[in-house]
Structures are given as C-alpha cells and as structure tokens.
C-alpha cells in the first residue's frame, strides 16, 4: 500500500487528523523498512500465537504387551503389580510375587491435546519404557488413561507401537539402531473430554510474539490498523499486541484472527550469535556487523613420542648366567611454536568475511569461540553473544 492510498483509506474511515498523520507515518515507516536494512517478509501467524489458544500436555501410565522376551525383568516390581491389577479387573487373581513374564513392559504415555479438541477426535501418542525392558518392538499398548495437569482424564490411548529403531543380539553381540525403547502410536488416542475454547467470549484478541521485540510489536499493530483502516490494535510491550474485537467490527472472532494472521510485514532479524562451548557449535546471523578489528592467532604444538628400545640379553655360556632381553623406553619431546597468523576486518564487515578469514588462518571451532568472545569483550562486535 502506498503513502497516498493509506491516507485515502483513512479518510474514508472518518478518522481524525491525528489518526491520518499516524497512518501516513506508518506508511512511510513501512517503505523505509524495505530499504537497505536487513529484514525479511513473514506472515503474522509465523511469529505470533494467540493468548488463550494453546495445546495442553497429557501423560499416562500403562502396559505394553506382546514383546518377544524383551520386556521388564523380575526385579521391576511395579510392572508385575500393574499386570496383577489389570488381571484382577478382568476377573483373574494372580500373586505378583509368583509372576514371571518377559513379554510385558511398563511405560509412560505422553501426548499434546490440541486447543480445539472435541470428544471423538484422535491424536498421536508417544510411548516410553520406564523399566529395564530391552526393546518395545512388536508391542501393543493396553488401554490407558491420559491425564491433564488437573488430574482429569482427557483421552484414552491404545494400539500397536510404531518403532523408529530396533535391537538385535545379546551381550557383546547386541546391535542397537536408534531408540528401541520409545515408540509412536499414530492416531492412538481418542479425546474423551471437550476442551475447545469459546471464541465468542473474546473481547480482545492478544497476539503473543514468539521472539519479543518492540519494533516487531509496533510493526504488527501498525499493519493491523492499516488493514482495518482505523486504530484497533496497540502494542502493550515487546511481546504482546492487543486487538479490540468490537472496534474491528469483524463478522466473528475466527474471521478476525484469520484476517490478522495472514498479514505480511517485514521483520528485522536481531543481530545475535549463539555459541555452544561443549560441542563447538556457532550460529551467527548474517546481519551481524563488526567494527575494525585485528585478530592474531598463534598455535603451540607439543608432541610427546615414546619408543621402546630392546636391549638383547646375554646367552647362556660356560659358567655364565643367562639373562632375558630388557625393554627400555626412550621418550622424545618435540615442541613447535607456529608463527602467529593474523587477519584484519574493515568497518562494516559481515559474518561471511569473519568466517572466511578465520578459516584462512587455520582456526578450529573452539578457537573461533574464544576469538568471538574476545572480539565481543573488546567492543568490536555489534551483536548479542549467547553462550550455552
């Protein structure tokens, strides 16, 4: 939308002169965002969520049966106790102390309940062994209740497990591929309780930013106001934008949310570097800028080599005493202090230039971590540095 069309639309909506000026300023701001500054176009749905509309975590406990001798062992007491309780409900009384089975495993079942799930809807569940079972391959989950944080039962799960790995052999000849103690049951749970959210009672639709940022929140509010031709949205802080349902005059809250979520705006990517020192992983945004800086990298290599020298023994002779060969270790220490490697970055250098320069002087991933921390401490890097 151009600057003139934004003002014309605002006039048709009967806005005040202040609102007209606001729309014009927002239009100019949108045009400015398409300049040289690093940004990317995204949908509002990709960077926000709706307050009050979310998934809920469910968890349950159950038994997996039908295993090929790879279930829990005798010392896993809760497995045989659960089996005895299940058999008792079916009219069969057994003593847990006398039960010896290897085809049963105790498991936890986890699932995510969708925001608008209604009774009869199906969802996937993940089944994980909690005992000492070797594998759940080929098992079937018996009917188990899934509970929410409030302790209520929201779904029932049952069905055969789909495994992403397997285990074969025993002892030193055992071969494990991926995880054989965790399985998935596609559409294995049926919702039993209505947890759908009533949107008709919403007076305000609150957008929550996944990555809080004042500029992005302001841009979302501006895009919504331009879309509806009047001030219906406001940015409360860096992570929340409120939209008035009454002011928007939408046919329904669902229509309002759909219209807002499909808006396109330009989002500025924050300059940030994430470093994991344990793995040597470094993730840097392409918009990270560096001030003029020089980097000198030296390498001290110390090599210790031990060789075993064999001294021959004395053979047996007349009146002599024979001796065995003697092994004498000979240690050689070699130290090499390589010449310092240097590189220089000019004003406005980006990540590509930094990475290429560091590779050119032969740095490893752990060397790069130390160099980046030093550059950040010196003030030569305009970015947030997060060390994990």
Predicted TM-score (pTM) of the model is 0.64
Same domain (yes/no): 351, 367: yes
Q: Would you call 316 helix, strand, or coil by DSSP? A: coil
Which pair of structure tokens corresponds to residue 356? Answer: 């290429």
Predicted local confidence at residue 263, as pLDDT: 93
In a domain, 170, yes or no: no
- CB contact at 8 A, 99 and 54: no
CA dihedral 34→36→40→44, nearest 10 degrees, is -40
Name which of 197, 184, 190, 381 is nearest 282 in CA terms. 381
Largest CA distance in the chain: 126
Same domain (yes/no): 63, 23: no
Give the chain's residues under pLDDT 50: 1-37, 300, 302
Q: Would you call 50 helix, strand, or coil by DSSP? A: strand
Same domain (yes/no): 223, 332: no
- CB contact at 8 A, 30 and 266: yes
Domain final residue, candidates 267, 286, 310: 267
- CB contact at 8 A, 245 and 202: yes
Predicted local confidence at residue 351, as pLDDT: 65
In a domain, 204, yes or no: yes
| Integer Rg of the chain from CA | 34
Containing structural domain, residue 226: 3-52+198-267
Residues 273, 268: Cα–Cα separation, whole Å: 15
Same domain (yes/no): 325, 337: yes
Q: What is the 3-state secondary structure (H, E, C) of 7-23?
A: HHHHHHCCCCHHHHHHH
CA dihedral 7→12→17→18, nearest 10 degrees, is -70
Phi, psi of 55 (to 5 degrees): -80, 160
Predicted local confidence at residue 111, as pLDDT: 95
Same domain (yes/no): 47, 81: no
Predicted local confidence at residue 12, as pLDDT: 45
Predicted local confidence at residue 275, as pLDDT: 77
Handedness of CA 20, 22, 25, 26 (dihedral sign): negative
Same domain (yes/no): 251, 289: no
Same domain (yes/no): 209, 287: no
Q: Would you call 95 helix, strand, or coil by DSSP? A: coil
Predicted local confidence at residue 358, as pLDDT: 72
Predicted local confidence at residue 286, as pLDDT: 61
Contacts of 129 (CB under 8 A, 6+ apart): 64, 72, 105, 106, 107, 136, 181, 182
pLDDT in tens, 39-82: 678 899 999 999 988 899 999 999 999 998 888 887 777 787 88
Q: How many domains does the chain have?
A: 3
Predicted local confidence at residue 311, as pLDDT: 62
In a domain, 171, yes or no: no
Q: How many CB atoms sit inside 10 A of residue 25's CB? A: 13
Predicted local confidence at residue 342, as pLDDT: 66
In a domain, 232, yes or no: yes
């Amino acid at each position: 939308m151009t600057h003139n069309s934004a003002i014309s639309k605002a006039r048709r909506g009967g806005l005040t002169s202040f609102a007209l000026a606001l729309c014009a300023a927002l239009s100019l701001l949108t045009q400015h965002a398409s300049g040289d500054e690093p940004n990317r176009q995204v949908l509002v749905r990709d960077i926000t969520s709706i307050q009050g509309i979310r998934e809920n975590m469910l968890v349950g406990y159950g038994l997996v049966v039908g295993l090929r001798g790879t279930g829990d062992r005798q010392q896993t007491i809760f497995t045989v106790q659960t089996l005895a309780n299940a058999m008792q409900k079916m009219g069969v009384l057994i003593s847990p102390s006398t039960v010896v089975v290897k085809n049963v495993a105790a498991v936890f079942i986890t699932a995510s309940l969708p925001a608008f799930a209604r009774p009869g809807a199906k969802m996937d569940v993940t089944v994980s062994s909690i005992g000492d079972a070797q594998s759940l391959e080929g098992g079937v989950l018996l009917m188990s209740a899934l509970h929410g944080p409030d302790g209520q039962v929201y779904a029932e799960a049952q069905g055969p497990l789909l495994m992403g790995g397997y285990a074969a052999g025993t002892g030193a000849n055992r071969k494990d591929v991926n995880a054989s103690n965790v399985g998935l049951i596609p559409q294995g749970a049926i919702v039993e309780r209505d947890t759908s959210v009533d949107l008709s009672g919403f007076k305000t639709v609150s957008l929550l930013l996944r990555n809080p940022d004042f500029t992005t929140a302001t841009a979302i509010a501006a895009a919504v106001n331009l879309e509806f031709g009047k001030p219906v949205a406001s940015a409360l802080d860096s992570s929340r934008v409120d939209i008035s349902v009454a002011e928007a005059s939408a046919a329904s809250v669902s229509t309002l949310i759909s219209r807002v979520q499909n808006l396109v705006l330009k989002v500025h990517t924050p300059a940030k570097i994430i470093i994991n020192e344990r793995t040597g992983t470094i993730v840097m945004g392409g918009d990270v800028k560096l001030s003029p800086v020089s980097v000198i990298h030296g390498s001290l290599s110390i090599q210790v080599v031990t060789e075993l020298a064999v001294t021959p023994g004395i053979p047996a002779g007349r009146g002599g005493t024979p001796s065995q060969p003697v092994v004498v270790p000979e240690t050689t220490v070699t130290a090499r202090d390589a010449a310092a490697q240097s590189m220089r970055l000019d004003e406005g250098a980006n990540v590509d230039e930094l990475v290429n320069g560091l590779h050119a002087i032969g740095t490893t991933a752990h060397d790069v971590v130390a160099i980046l921390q030093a550059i950040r401490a010196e003030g030569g890097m305009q970015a947030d540095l997060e060390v994990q």
